[in-house]
Structure formats: C-alpha cells, structure tokens
C-alpha cells in the first residue's frame, strides 16, 4: 500500500500551473495621483474595471496582453501595456508533466501571468 502513494503524487504533476497559479489573477493598479478610473482591456473588450485607484480586480489569464487605460478629471489619459508572460510553474510542469500537463495549463490559461502591481503616472492637462 505504501508504494501506491508515490504513484498518486505522480498523477498530480500534470497541470501543475493550473493547480498552483489558477486560471485567474489579481491585478493591482496604483496611479499617481490616486483616484483614477481604470479599465483593463483585452482584444478590444473590457475585462475588468477599477473605479478608484489604488485598487485591484481579478481577471481570467490568457496568452493575450492587457491594456490598462486610466482617466482622471484634469489629467491626460494614461495607458500601460501589461504583457502576458509565462508562469513559473509552467517550466516545472513541462519538465515533470510533459506535453499533457502543458496542454492542460495552456488550454486553461494557467500558464500565463501578468505584472502586478502596476504603477501608472497621469500628467496634468
């Protein structure tokens, strides 16, 4: 019976990033000055909104970049491109879990991550 335990652990290795990092991520946005309204846009669709910075929002992770657009009365609009990168658990999963684990992570978006926190400066008009 003790020999079954290591085999059970091996079954958990595929989709390591899905288990460790999950399919969603909290994005924290700080602005200077605070109090801006920020939209998180991906593929021309708003996927999250922070009505007053500093603040955060949970979004589903994908391989597509986010554009964070912030506005505040009396200031010029500011944008930040938050690039989708590889989550750290992905590389361990490729080595230990092979193509099956990587495929599961890629299909769920779990093998991606965004920068957080994000700091954006708005300039006066």
Angstrom distance (rounded) from CA 16 to CA 96: 9
pLDDT at 12: 47
| Domain segments of the chain as ranges | 4-121
Residue-wise burial string across 57-88, b where 16 or more C-beta atoms lie within 10 A, e elsewhere: bebebbeeebebbbebeebeebebebebeebe
Q: In which residue are the tokens 């290591």 written? A: 6
CA–CA distance from 41 to each of 49, 81, 90, 92 (Å)?
Answer: 9, 10, 25, 30
Residue 95 has pLDDT above 80, yes or no: no
Residue 104 has pLDDT above 50, yes or no: no
The DSSP output letter for 44 is T
pLDDT at 3: 55
CA–CA distance from 35 to each of 55, 57, 65, 118 (Å)?
Answer: 9, 15, 24, 15
| Alpha helix ranges (H) inside the chain | 4-12, 16-20, 88-108
Mean pLDDT to the nearest integer, 23-38: 95
pLDDT at 59: 94
CB-CB contact of 80 with 120 (8 Å) = yes
Fold for the domain defined by 4-121: Immunoglobulin-like (2.60.40)
């Amino acid at each position: 019976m003790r020999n079954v335990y290591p085999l059970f652990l091996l079954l958990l290795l595929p989709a390591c990033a899905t288990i460790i990092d999950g399919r969603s991520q909290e994005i924290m946005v700080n602005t200077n000055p605070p109090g801006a309204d920020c939209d998180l846009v991906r593929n021309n669709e708003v996927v999250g909104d922070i009505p007053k910075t500093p603040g955060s929002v949970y979004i589903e992770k994908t391989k597509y970049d986010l554009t964070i657009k912030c506005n505040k009365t009396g200031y010029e609009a500011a944008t930040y491109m938050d690039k989708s990168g590889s989550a750290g658990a992905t590389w361990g999963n490729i080595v230990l879990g092979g193509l099956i684990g990587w495929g599961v992570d890629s299909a769920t978006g779990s093998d991606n991550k965004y920068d957080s926190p994000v700091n954006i400066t708005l300039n006066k008009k």
